Amino acid sequence: MKTPVKVATYTASLVVVFAAALWLGGRFDLGAEPADTHGADQDHDSDQTDDHGGHDQTTEPGGLSVAADGYRLVTDSDMLTTGKKTEFGFQIIGPDGEPVTSFTPQHEKEIHLIVVRRDLTDYQHLHPETDGSGTWHAPITFAEAGQYRFFADFLPEGADSGLTLGIDVAVAGDYRPLALAEPNTTATVDGYDVTLDTAPAAGEATTLTLTVDKDGEPVTDLEPYLGAYGHLVSLRDGDLAYLHVHPDESETAGPEVSFSTTFPTPGAYRLFFDFQHGDTVRTAEFTVEVTDGSDTDDGHGDGH
């Protein structure tokens, strides 16, 4: 083929390609910004009702993200050490880019800080304090090394709903992860026997009833703790999703303490029940296996 013919053929090919690109661009708007579905999600969330400190037990679990709805959890350290008390500092950054300084108390505290190792051991429930500048501090000591999840549970003043943000913090040292404990319905701590009564199914409203005994006798003089006769944290095995659990109103100080929640998916969950007696807060821990909600469609569910 002679050179002029080659040039003409090449030029014609370019014209065809360019025309095809223009046609495709008109059909698919190749330069358009991707669709924003976040706003739709926010609208969906805003329709959720709330009658327990800003949280709706039917919403998705929290704690899976370091930021949500314009709020962000920022810590002063991403590496800590074992064996010594450390003042852990953090801030909640608001939509305006500034530290949030005003919160609506939930369960008698402005912010609840829950800490647990990634293998669901070494649970701690802390109540940080602030000087009003938007920086919060909580003293913490780690007995074991590993990767820890920090959950900040809070309700910004004026907000319609509360948030639970989560962030990982490494604790230096020889990390020896433990297998998740087998499912149990009884836990013993400092001479107290705590029994869990529930048969949870995913996607269904569930009542969790815990009964506290000591030396074989029911404890009927539990002391108020965070505005109730107990506090319960529920975390999903695998991703440590933080479930919102609400204490049922009770006029009796034990031995039974009940909570309401909805487990979003089947699988294993770790429950941490804090209760106060004799001026001391203790924690009873449980592993719960949640069944598929469809397994109870035959009418033989737990009745909750």
pLDDT number for residue 33: 37
The answer to whether 270 and 287 are in contact (CB under 8 A) is yes
pLDDT number for residue 78: 82
State mean pLDDT over 21-40: 36
CA-CA distance, 57 to 260, in Å (whole number)?
Answer: 8
Q: Which residues are bridge partners to 290 per DSSP?
A: 267
- Please indicate whether residue 139 or residue 297 has the higher confidence score (pLDDT): 139
For the stretch 54-105, pLDDT in tens is 444 445 799 999 999 999 999 998 889 999 999 999 999 999 999 999 999 9
- % of the chain exceeding 70 in pLDDT: 77
Tokens 């709903």 appear where?
Answer: 161
Question: H or E stretch including 136?
Answer: strand 135-140
| Residue 117 CA from chain centroid, whole number | 14
CA-CA distance, 189 to 208, in Å (whole number)?
Answer: 19
* 294: pLDDT strictly greater than 90: no
pLDDT number for residue 251: 77
Q: Please report, in angstroms and rounded to a whole number, the separation of the first and last CA atoms in the chain.
A: 84
Task: Name every residue whose Cβ is closer than 8 Å to that of residue 126 and which is 6 or more positions away in sequence.
Answer: 112, 113, 114, 115, 138, 139, 140
Please name the amino acid found at residue 200. P
Hey, which of 119-128, 250-259, 293-302 has the most confident mean pLDDT?
Answer: 119-128
For the stretch 279-292, pLDDT in tens is 999 999 999 999 99
Q: What's the whole-model pTM score?
A: 0.78
- % of the chain exceeding 90 in pLDDT: 70
Domains of the chain: 55-171 (2.60.40.10), 186-293 (2.60.40.1930)
Among 70-84, 176-190, 286-300, the least confident range: 286-300
The answer to whether 156 and 94 are in contact (CB under 8 A) is yes
For the stretch 104-158, pLDDT in tens is 999 899 999 999 999 999 999 999 999 889 999 999 999 999 999 999 999 999 9
State mean pLDDT over 267-279: 98
Give the pair of three-digit tokens for residue 78: 């991403």
Three-state SS string over 190-259 comes to CCEEEEEECCCECCCEEEEEEEEEECCEECCCCECECCEECEEEEEECCCCCEECCEECCCCCCCCEEEE
CA-CA distance, 156 to 68, in Å (whole number)?
Answer: 12
Compute the mean pLDDT over every residue in the chain, rounded to the nearest whole number.
Answer: 83
Among 19-28, 51-60, 236-245, 291-300, the least confident range: 19-28
Give the pair of three-digit tokens for residue 17: 């390609």
State mean pLDDT over 252-268: 96
Please name the amino acid found at residue 140. I
Among 26-40, 95-109, 145-159, 240-254, the least confident range: 26-40
Coil vs helix vs strand at 130: strand
Task: For residue 78, give the nearest of 155, 6, 150, 160 by alpha carbon.
Answer: 150
| pLDDT band for position 295 (cuts 50, 70, 90) | low
Give the pair of three-digit tokens for residue 194: 């705590």
Please name the amino acid found at residue 286. F
